[in-house]
Amino acid sequence: MIKIYGIRNCDTLKKTLKWFEANNVEFQFIDYKKQPPEEPLARAFIDAHGWETVINKRGTTWRKLDDETKNAVTDETAVSLIMQHPSMIKRPIIEQDGRFLIGYDETQFAQFI
């Protein structure tokens, strides 16, 4: 089963869900706001793609962090950050069979499924 992680009111996520529905792909949606990632999942995101890819540095949540925190981020500290601030995670993250795809890309969606 494909899992799609994100935040329901995110426009990119809405576009992603529409794409999967239009292509008749069955999926389970997990909303970060209602079900923040626990440590094993947060670690899996970071291990698969590194914190620089997983964390949205253009978003408000990241920009509100103090410079000391931003400058000290490592893969290890990023796990805690995204657990505390799930809005900071890029959207969508799509999971299938332990593989993760990050961001909206229809070509990659088609190859991934």
Residues belonging to the active site: 10
> What are the extents of the domains in the chain?
2-112
pTM: predicted TM-score of the whole model, two decimal places: 0.91
Selecting from 3.40.30.10, 3.40.50.720, 3.40.50.920, 3.40.50.1100, what CATH number does the domain 2-112 have? 3.40.30.10
* Distant-in-sequence, close-in-space partners of 83: CB < 8 Å, separation ≥ 6: 36, 37, 38, 39, 42
Q: How far apart are CA 81 and CA 26, in angstroms?
A: 30
Which residue do the tokens 């089963």 mark? 1
Going residue by residue through the chain, which has 113 residues, state the pLDDT in tens, using 9 for 90 and above: 899 999 999 999 999 999 999 999 999 999 988 999 999 999 999 999 999 999 999 989 999 999 999 999 999 999 999 999 999 999 999 999 989 999 999 999 998 88
pLDDT of res. 89: 95
